[in-house]
């Protein structure tokens, strides 16, 4: 005999534009907003906190991510063409 879990209705207000944009993203994953909220809550429970960092990116991180040479180096690393390098040896 199947066990029926107890559920509760959860409502939240969200900007209409944000809702539409995120629904389009979730659709690519085959998720509804309700399913995404359930996944998010499960992950919070699993890790005992938020599953991502709320701190803003540092200026240094933004600067690195805007550097085409750094991004090219990351791409080469992902392709397995570079295994290790010292930060000072990166080409600008």
Q: What is the CA radius of gyration of the chain?
A: 20
Please indicate, yes or no, whether residues 20 and 42 belong to a single structural domain of this protein: yes
**Is position 72 within any domain?**
yes
Residue 6 belongs to some domain of the structure: no
User: Band of the pLDDT at 42, cuts 50, 70, 90?
Assistant: very high
How many separate domains does the chain show?
Answer: 2
Domain residues for 36? 16-47
Same domain, 23 and 43: yes
User: Does residue 45 register a pLDDT over 70?
Assistant: yes
Does the residue 75 lie in any domain? yes
**pLDDT computed for residue 3 by the predictor:** 66
Residues 41 and 64 both lie in one domain:
no
Specify if 26 maps to a domain: yes
Give the burial string for 28-37 (b: 16+ CB within 10 Å, else e).
eeeeeeeeee
Give Cβ neighbours of residue 76 (< 8 Å, ≥ 6 apart): 82
């Amino acid at each position: 005999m199947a066990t029926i879990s107890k559920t509760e209705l959860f409502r939240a207000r969200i900007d209409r534009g944000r809702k539409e944009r995120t629904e389009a993203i979730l659709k690519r994953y085959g998720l509804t907003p309700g399913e995404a909220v359930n996944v998010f809550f499960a992950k919070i429970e699993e890790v005992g906190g938020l599953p991502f960092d709320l701190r803003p990116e540092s200026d240094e991180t933004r600067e690195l991510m805007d550097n085409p040479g750094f991004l090219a180096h990351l791409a080469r690393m992902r392709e397995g063409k570079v295994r290790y390098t010292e930060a000072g040896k990166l080409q600008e």
